[in-house]
Amino acid sequence: SASGRRYGLLRLRIDHSQDIHPGQFAMLKPRGSVEPLLRRAMAYYKVEPGPASTLVEFIYQIVGRGTEALARLRPADEVECLGPLGHSFDLEAATARQVALVAGGAGSPALFLLAQDLVRRQIPTRLFLGGASHGDLCGLADFTSLLGAERVFTATIDGTHGVSGFVTQPLEEYLTEESANGREVLIYSCGPDPMLHRVAAISAERSLPAQLSLEAPMACGYGICVGCAVPVKNSCPEGFIYQKVCTDGPVFWSHDLAWEVA
Amino acid sequence: SASGRRYGLLRLRIDHSQDIHPGQFAMLKPRGSVEPLLRRAMAYYKVEPGPASTLVEFIYQIVGRGTEALARLRPADEVECLGPLGHSFDLEAATARQVALVAGGAGSPALFLLAQDLVRRQIPTRLFLGGASHGDLCGLADFTSLLGAERVFTATIDGTHGVSGFVTQPLEEYLTEESANGREVLIYSCGPDPMLHRVAAISAERSLPAQLSLEAPMACGYGICVGCAVPVKNSCPEGFIYQKVCTDGPVFWSHDLAWEVA
Amino acid sequence: MAVSLISDSPMPDSINHSDLLAVEIAGVRFANPVWTASGTCGYGLDMAGLIDLNRLGAICTKGLSGTPLRGNAPWRIVETQGGMLNAIGLQNIGAHAFIAEKLPALREYGARIIPNVFGYTIEQYIEAIEILETGEGIHAYELNISCPNVKAGGESFANDPRQAAEVTAAVKKVATRPVIVKLSPNVTSIAVAARAVEEAGADALSLINTAIGMSIDINTRRPRIANVTGGLSGPAIKPIAVRCVFQAARAVSIPLVGIGGIATVEDALEFIIAGASAIQVGTANFYDPSASIRIVDGLADYCRHHGLASIRELIGSLRLDE
Amino acid sequence: MAVSLISDSPMPDSINHSDLLAVEIAGVRFANPVWTASGTCGYGLDMAGLIDLNRLGAICTKGLSGTPLRGNAPWRIVETQGGMLNAIGLQNIGAHAFIAEKLPALREYGARIIPNVFGYTIEQYIEAIEILETGEGIHAYELNISCPNVKAGGESFANDPRQAAEVTAAVKKVATRPVIVKLSPNVTSIAVAARAVEEAGADALSLINTAIGMSIDINTRRPRIANVTGGLSGPAIKPIAVRCVFQAARAVSIPLVGIGGIATVEDALEFIIAGASAIQVGTANFYDPSASIRIVDGLADYCRHHGLASIRELIGSLRLDE
Ligand SMILES: Cc1cc2nc3c(=O)[nH]c(=O)nc-3n(C[C@H](O)[C@H](O)[C@H](O)COP(=O)(O)OP(=O)(O)OC[C@H]3O[C@@H](n4cnc5c(N)ncnc54)[C@H](O)[C@@H]3O)c2cc1C
Ligand SMILES: Cc1cc2nc3c(=O)[nH]c(=O)nc-3n(C[C@H](O)[C@H](O)[C@H](O)COP(=O)(O)OP(=O)(O)OC[C@H]3O[C@@H](n4cnc5c(N)ncnc54)[C@H](O)[C@@H]3O)c2cc1C
Ligand SMILES: Cc1cc2nc3c(=O)[nH]c(=O)nc-3n(C[C@H](O)[C@H](O)[C@H](O)COP(=O)(O)O)c2cc1C
Ligand SMILES: Cc1cc2nc3c(=O)[nH]c(=O)nc-3n(C[C@H](O)[C@H](O)[C@H](O)COP(=O)(O)O)c2cc1C
Ligand code: FES
Ligand code: FES
Atom of ligand 1 lying closest to residue A65 CA: 25
Please give the pLDDT value at position A145. 98
Strand, coil or helix: B38: coil
Average pLDDT over residues A135-140: 96
pLDDT-derived band at D152, boundaries 50, 70, 90: confident
C147 catalytic per annotation: yes
Query: Mean pLDDT lowest for which of A106-115, B141-150, C8-17, C110-119?
Result: C8-17
Residue whose CA is at the smallest distance from ligand 3 atom 23: C260
Phi, psi of A244 (to 5 degrees): -95, 125
Ligand nearest to the CA of A66: 1
Q: Do C20 and C310 form a contact (C-beta atoms < 8 A)?
A: yes
Please determine, for residue D11, whether its predicted confidence score (pLDDT) is greater than 60.
no
Please determine, for residue B160, whether its predicted confidence score (pLDDT) is greater than 80.
yes
Nearest to D266 by CA among B93, B34, B97, C130: B34
Give CA–CA dist C279/A112, Å, rounded.
Answer: 44
Nearest to B115 by CA among B144, B86, B155: B144
Of B38, B224, B225, which is best to mutate to test ligand 4, by the most ligand atoms within 8 angstroms of its C-beta?
B225
Please determine, for residue A262, whether its predicted confidence score (pLDDT) is greater than 90.
no
CA B159 to chain centre: 23
A35 interaction partners in chain B (CB closer than 8 Å): 34-35
Give CA–CA dist D21/B78, Å, rounded.
Answer: 32
Please determine, for residue D4, whether its predicted confidence score (pLDDT) is greater than 60.
no
What is the 3 state secondary structure string of chain A? CCCCCCEEEEEEEECCCCCCCCCCEEEEEECCCCCCCCCEEEECCEEECCCCCEEEEEEEECCCHHHHHHHCCCCCCEEEEEEEECECCCCHHHCCCEEEEEEEHHHCHHHHHHHHHHHHCCCCEEEEEEECCHHHCCCHHHHHHHHCHHHEEEEECCCCCCEECCCHHHHHHHHHHHHHCCCCEEEEEECCHHHHHHHHHHHHHCCCCEEEECCCCCCCCCCCCCCCEEEEECCCCCCEEEEECCCCCEEEEHHHECHHHC
**C54-91 pLDDT per residue, tens:** 999 999 999 999 999 999 999 999 999 999 999 999 99
**A95-127 pLDDT per residue, tens:** 989 999 999 989 999 999 999 999 999 999 999
Strand, coil or helix: D312: helix
Q: Are strands B46-48 and B54-61 parallel, antiparallel or unpaired?
A: antiparallel
Residue of chain C minimizing CA distance to A237 = C70
CB-hemisphere CA count at 13 Å for D312? 12
Percent of chain A with pLDDT over 70: 100
Give CA–CA dist C296/D255, Å, rounded.
Answer: 50
Hey, are the CB atoms on C242 and D318 less than 8 Å from each other? no
Please determine, for residue A34, whether its predicted confidence score (pLDDT) is greater than 60.
yes
- B84 preceded by a cis bond (ω within 30 of 0): yes
Give CA–CA dist C235/C284, Å, rounded.
Answer: 9
Give CA–CA dist A134/B150, Å, rounded.
Answer: 70
Atom of ligand 1 lying closest to residue A41 CA: 17
User: The whole model's pTM is what?
Assistant: 0.96
**C253-300 pLDDT per residue, tens:** 999 999 999 999 999 999 999 999 999 999 999 999 999 999 999 999
Hey, are the CB atoms on C47 and A9 less than 8 Å from each other? no
Please determine, for residue B82, whether its predicted confidence score (pLDDT) is greater than 70.
yes
CA C244 to chain centre: 14
Instruction: Tell me, in angstroms, the distance from the centre of ligand 5 to residue A244's CA.
Output: 6
pLDDT-derived band at D110, boundaries 50, 70, 90: very high
CB-hemisphere CA count at 13 Å for B262? 24
- D33 preceded by a cis bond (ω within 30 of 0): no
Please determine, for residue C2, whether its predicted confidence score (pLDDT) is greater than 60.
no
pLDDT-derived band at B262, boundaries 50, 70, 90: low
Using only C-alpha atoms, chain C has a radius of gyration, in whole angstroms, of 19
Phi, psi of D259 (to 5 degrees): -145, 145
**D68-84 pLDDT per residue, tens:** 999 999 999 999 999 99
Q: Do C35 and C257 form a contact (C-beta atoms < 8 A)?
A: yes
The 8-class DSSP code of residue D185 comes to S
pLDDT-derived band at C8, boundaries 50, 70, 90: low
Please determine, for residue A3, whether its predicted confidence score (pLDDT) is greater than 90.
no
Give CA–CA dist B127/B154, Å, rounded.
Answer: 8
Q: Which amino acid is it at B133?
A: S
User: Could you tell me if the ipTM is greater than 0.90?
Assistant: yes
Please give the pLDDT value at position B3. 85
C221 interaction partners in chain D (CB closer than 8 Å): 273, 317-319
Average pLDDT over residues D128-143: 98
Average pLDDT over residues A225-242: 96
Atom of ligand 5 lying closest to residue A224 CA: 3
Q: Do C215 and C178 form a contact (C-beta atoms < 8 A)?
A: no
Average pLDDT over residues A131-144: 96
Q: Is B191 left (phi over 0), alpha (psi -120 to 50) or beta?
A: left
Percent of chain C with pLDDT over 90: 91
Please determine, for residue C12, whether its predicted confidence score (pLDDT) is greater than 50.
no
Determine if ligand 3 sits within 6 Å of the CB of residue C262. Answer: yes
pLDDT-derived band at D322, boundaries 50, 70, 90: low
pLDDT-derived band at D8, boundaries 50, 70, 90: low
- Contact residues for C268 (Cβ-Cβ < 8 A; gap 6+): C33, C34, C258, C262, C279, C295, C298, C299
Interchain contact A111–C (C-beta under 8 A): no
Ligand 4 neighbours by CB, cut-off 6 Å: B 225, 227; D 37-40, 62-63, 86, 88, 90, 116, 144, 182, 209-210, 231, 233-234, 237, 259-262, 282-283
Q: Do D199 and D222 form a contact (C-beta atoms < 8 A)?
A: no
Please give the pLDDT value at position A1. 79
Strand, coil or helix: B257: strand
Please determine, for residue A74, whether its predicted confidence score (pLDDT) is greater than 70.
yes
Give CA–CA dist D54/D48, Å, rounded.
Answer: 9
Nearest to C233 by CA among B112, A225, A79: A225
What is the 3 state secondary structure string of chain C? CEEEEEECCCCCCCCCCHHHHCEEECCEEECCCEEECCCCCCCCHHHCCCCCHHHCCEEECCCECCCCECCCCCCCEEEECCEEEECCCCCECCHHHHHHHHHHHHHCCCCEEECEECCCCHHHHHHHHHHHHCCCCCCCEEEECCCECHHHCCCEHHHCHHHHHHHHHHHHHHCCCCEEEEECCCCCCHHHHHHHHHHCCCCEEEECCCEEEECEECCCCEECCCCCEEEEECHHHHHHHHHHHHHHHHHCCCCEEEECCCCCHHHHHHHHHHCCCEEEECCHHHHCCCHHHHHHHHHHHHHHHCCCCCHHHHCCCCCCCC
Q: What kind and span of H or E run contains D164?
A: helix D161-174
Strand, coil or helix: D23: strand
CB-hemisphere CA count at 13 Å for D149? 20
Average pLDDT, chain C: 94
Please determine, for residue D89, whether its predicted confidence score (pLDDT) is greater than 80.
yes
CA A232 to chain centre: 19
Interchain contact A13–C (C-beta under 8 A): yes
